[in-house]
Amino acid sequence: MKFTIPHPLQHEHEVLHDRLRQATQAGGEVGEAAKMLARLMHPHFVKEDQIALPPLSLLAVLARGEWTAEMAEVLTLTDQLEAELPLMLAEHQTIVAALNTLREAAARAGRTEIVAFAEELVEHARTEEEVMYPAAVLVGQVVRERLGQRARAST
């Protein structure tokens, strides 16, 4: 079964990538800070796109009480997310520190749009930590629970 990132989350990441790309073109201290941030964020975004966000495609389906055995395939992703979550949270700390550097450089340069972007990206990281990652983990827990109930019903 293919698990696709929900469109609103995919769109949000695309917008963030574009805004970061624009910030890297700012030149000077701001551009250098944005380039450092991009180097930190790219592998993190790739990991999110591979393991953290695709399980969220099952949220609405599971909330409606729908179930298919193919959904069990999501456990590969959610188990990997749970295993890598401490590292992903540590990456967020590093990214937020780089965002603060970018925000400060942008403030000194009078680049208010980049200051706003940095602040939005910090909030995005908090949303991932407090909402998206836990929701993806819960998807795995619900699927595992439904598998267990189904197995017991068969015996």
Would you list the DSSP string of 69-124?
GGGGGHHHHHHHHHHHHHHHHHHHHHHHHHHHHHHHHHHHTT-HHHHHHHHHHHHH
Q: Which of 16, 7, 91, 109 is nearest to 47 (CA)?
A: 91
Return the pLDDT at 46.
Answer: 94
Amino acid at 76: T
Please give the residue range of the domain that contains residue 103.
Answer: 28-50+73-154
Count of domains in the chain? 1
CA separation, residue 56 to residues 1, 5, 107, 128, 153 (Å): 14, 7, 36, 12, 27
Tokens of 81: 């997310």
Separation CA 26–CA 112 (nearest Å): 12
Q: Is residue 61 a part of any domain in this protein?
A: no
Return the pLDDT at 148.
Answer: 86
Q: Is residue 20 a part of any domain in this protein?
A: no
Question: Is-above-0.85 flag for pTM?
Answer: yes
Tokens of 78: 């959610």
Return the pLDDT at 155.
Answer: 45
Return the pLDDT at 37.
Answer: 97
Q: Is residue 8 a part of any domain in this protein?
A: no
Tokens of 23: 């910030």
Full pLDDT tens readout for the chain, 155 residues: 899 999 999 999 999 999 999 999 999 999 999 999 999 999 999 999 999 999 999 999 999 999 999 999 999 999 999 999 999 999 999 999 999 999 999 999 999 999 999 999 999 999 999 999 999 999 999 999 998 865 544 44
Q: Is residue 5 a part of any domain in this protein?
A: no
Q: Is residue 119 a part of any domain in this protein?
A: yes
Return the pLDDT at 149.
Answer: 64
Name residues whose C-beta falls within 8 Å of residue 74's C-beta, 6 or more positions apart in sequence.
1, 3, 54, 55, 58, 139, 140, 143
Q: Is residue 22 a part of any domain in this protein?
A: no
Q: Is residue 13 a part of any domain in this protein?
A: no
Q: Is residue 6 a part of any domain in this protein?
A: no
